Amino acid sequence: MLKRISIVALCLAAICPAAVVRVELSERSDVLAGQAFAAVGPYERMIGKAYFAIDPANPANRIIADIDKAPRNEKGLVEFSADLYVLRPRNPAQGNGAVLFEVSNRGGKGMLGMYDRGASGSVDPRYSEHFGDGFLLERGFTLVWLGWQFDVPRREGLLRLYSPVARDNGRSITGLVRSEIVVDQKTTRHSLGDRDHIPYTPVNPDDPQLTLTVRDRNDGVRRTVPRGDWHIEDRTHVVMPSGFEPAKIYELVYTAQDPALVGLGPTAVRDLISFLKYGGNDVSAFGDSKNYIKRAYGFGVSQSGRFLRTFMYYGFNRDEKDRRVFDGVLSHVAGGARGSFNLRFGQPSRDGHPFMNLFYPTDIFPFTDLDETDPEAGLTDGLLARAMKEGVTPKVFYTNSSYEYWGRSASLIHTTIDGQKDAPLPDTTRIYFFAGGQHGPASFPPAKNRAQNLSNPNDYRWAMRALLVAMDRWVRDGAEPPASQYPRIAQDTLVPLGAVQFPKIPGVAVPTRIQKAYRADYGPEFRSSGIISVEPPKVGKAFPILLPQVNADGNETSGVRMPDIQVPLATYTGWNLRAADIGAPDELFSMQGSFIPFSRTRAERELHHDPRLSIAERYSGRAQFLEKIGAAARSLAAGGYLLDGDVSRVVEHSAMEWDYLNGAP
């Protein structure tokens, strides 16, 4: 039965360690009416807010951009708070001793959809469909979410960081902000923020010197839109009565003031996880007599995966007492990117796509975990350089789909900066490439989503479950995880765009333009202080981007090849092109891959001049197909890339695909 408690302080400042001052709950209730999850038993839900106060002079806090300009309380500390959501075993002693912390993607919750195969999209999981098969709960993980982003949309249930603003001796700080607008259908009004996020507002929205530009390509010439053709409304939206045209890139650069301390987001994550791990035996995170949390894993998808790469790079994996925060990091579909998570006037939602959010500080040097040198910029650095120096390096899994190679510069995480050789990995890092996957697997049967081909349903989430189990064993027991699986230059499985040997399939256009990472100049204080003073940035040479090679079917030959790729009924790609009706049809559609089914019979194949063998030419029938699928699944399980208990489920899913593509009722 739901139990509500008004506001309960679970930890007093006098006894709380480090930066967590207190945790206040507004709700503490049973999950699914006290349903037991295997031997772990029932789970409980805790919703509330965590309060923090940090010492700006502590060396671990000096990495926070503008920390010297943060307001301080009477003790000289910087205060802030964040929304908190926890699912944990009602009896913590029956859990597995590990926190799985999901870095909330734009205020939401996704790991139950990823690992438990529950209904996705819920910001408040309460019903059985949200918990799927209970995978995480049956294994005893404590599941934690915390607001880290100050500008998430104003929607009920989204997790938020409540951050102070930076000031210079009490005076407002001003700086440049760039708003980019790209639409797929004509509209007359658009937010200055990204995807309904709360934008920075202009100091003077009526300034006649404000300039709105438009161009056709990321590398196209900017043209000025006459000032009389548009205006700013409510300080938050740009209005153009004649309409923003689809497939055009509009930009407005303006002066804003009072920047939030964006870097308090990763700080909050750091200090909450440290609190959960090191709270001490006198008081643990939620008022227990003993602290049962011994291990912590950070998991993030897309924006959240980029957050984790940024978190490690800046040095947030060391807490105020020089202790390791995350023992393991699972950064998923982040490619080679980071993000605006510790910058003055940073816009955390802005990312980097082939045709959206261009030239924001996302694809920036360095890309590899170990030190690399960019002779063009005269820089030497590595993503884990600080963590290694401070002795707080976590175990790391980078998992990427094919899309991240085409649309998010993923090859840069494991090649030299000139794109000529494979780069070495530290012993603590593994890289797993899901061949023929898109940014997030489409449901089946797939649909066309404003793209030229059907979306890609290759479901590699089964492998993600196995890799989470492998990470826990690696940290807990020292058991070696499955070997890295990704395309390599030395094996001719990682090649330039022009060398990808994709078959000529009638009616299927192959990309000629891909996302690239560019050397960009954001101003002299960008790397030292997180201050952007050049907008738009000065763009230099692109880094070389390489792509996975394919076979005669167009399916990729390296990486973790799920049974659908090993025993295919279609071509699965990490790319899809924009549909003609939304414009720019030769540009990649963000985050989507393609599903291009084989013909059913030889006659059908020959009628359409399809060079790929038909389904009937490959398999004698449904039974043989499923036998091969089962063999491929068991082989993956033997290597640790699939759980034994999931083999039958993979086969069941493939049976559904066979029936659908062969017209079975």
pLDDT tens-digit map of 346-356: 999 999 999 99
Q: Are residues 93 and 218 in the same domain?
A: no
> In the listed set 257, 284, 307, which residue is the last one of a domain according to the structure?
257
Helix (H, G, I), strand (E, B) or coil at 184: coil
Q: In angstroms, how far apart are the furthest CA atoms of the chain?
A: 81
**Average pLDDT over the chain, rounded to whole?**
95
Q: Are residues 229 and 158 in the same domain?
A: no
pLDDT for residue 417 is more than 50: yes
Provide the pLDDT confidence category of residue 634 given band limits of 50, 70 and 90: very high
pLDDT for residue 208 is more than 70: yes
What average pLDDT does this structure show over 426-431? 98
Alpha-carbon distance of 64 to 260, in angstroms, equals 12
Provide the pLDDT confidence category of residue 121 given band limits of 50, 70 and 90: confident
In-domain check, residue 310? no
pLDDT for residue 291 is more than 90: no
What average pLDDT does this structure show over 434-460? 96
The amino acid that residue 512 corresponds to is: T
In-domain check, residue 403? no
Q: How many domains does the chain have?
A: 2
Nearest-CA neighbor of 326 among 274, 279, 369? Answer: 274
Percent of the chain with pLDDT over 90: 94
Lookup: tokens for 358 = 């261009």
Q: Are residues 200 and 58 in the same domain?
A: no
Q: Are residues 133 and 271 in the same domain?
A: yes
φ/ψ region of 240 (left if φ > 0, alpha if ψ in -120 to 50, else beta) reads: beta
Alpha carbons within 13 A on the beta-carbon side of 306: 26
Alpha-carbon distance of 319 to 658, in angstroms, equals 51
Alpha-carbon distance of 214 to 222, in angstroms, equals 5
pLDDT number for residue 561: 98
Q: Are residues 154 and 180 in the same domain?
A: no
Find the helix or strand (DSSP H, E) in which 145 lies: strand 142-146
Cβ contacts of 632 within 8 Å, gap of 6 or more: 561, 562, 563, 566, 567
Cβ contacts of 2 within 8 Å, gap of 6 or more: 27, 29, 30
What average pLDDT does this structure show over 91-104? 97
pLDDT number for residue 287: 60
pLDDT number for residue 288: 64
Provide the pLDDT confidence category of residue 290 given band limits of 50, 70 and 90: confident
Q: Are residues 214 and 234 in the same domain?
A: yes
What average pLDDT does this structure show over 148-166? 97
C-beta of residue 188 within 8 angstroms of C-beta of residue 179 = no
pLDDT number for residue 345: 98
Q: Are residues 123 and 252 in the same domain?
A: no
In-domain check, residue 248? yes
What average pLDDT does this structure show over 223-240? 98
Lookup: tokens for 156 = 């009920």
Mean pLDDT is lowest, of 14-23, 297-306, 364-373, 501-510, for 14-23
pLDDT for residue 3 is more than 50: no
159 or 11: which carries more pLDDT confidence?
159
Provide the pLDDT confidence category of residue 569 given band limits of 50, 70 and 90: very high
C-beta of residue 454 within 8 angstroms of C-beta of residue 595 = yes
Q: Are residues 42 and 23 in the same domain?
A: yes
> In the listed set 293, 316, 343, which residue is the last one of a domain according to the structure?
293
Lookup: tokens for 568 = 């295919």
What average pLDDT does this structure show over 316-341? 98
pLDDT for residue 593 is more than 90: yes
Q: Are residues 144 and 126 in the same domain?
A: yes
pLDDT for residue 52 is more than 90: yes
pLDDT for residue 11 is more than 60: no
Strands 328-332, 295-301: pairing is: parallel
Residues forming a β-bridge with 41 = 37
pLDDT for residue 188 is more than 70: yes
Q: Are residues 133 and 225 in the same domain?
A: no
Q: Are residues 112 and 206 in the same domain?
A: no
Provide the pLDDT confidence category of residue 289 given band limits of 50, 70 and 90: low
pLDDT for residue 85 is more than 70: yes
What's the domain range around 69?
Answer: 1-165+261-293
pLDDT for residue 29 is more than 60: yes
What average pLDDT does this structure show over 561-580? 98
What average pLDDT does this structure show over 591-614? 98
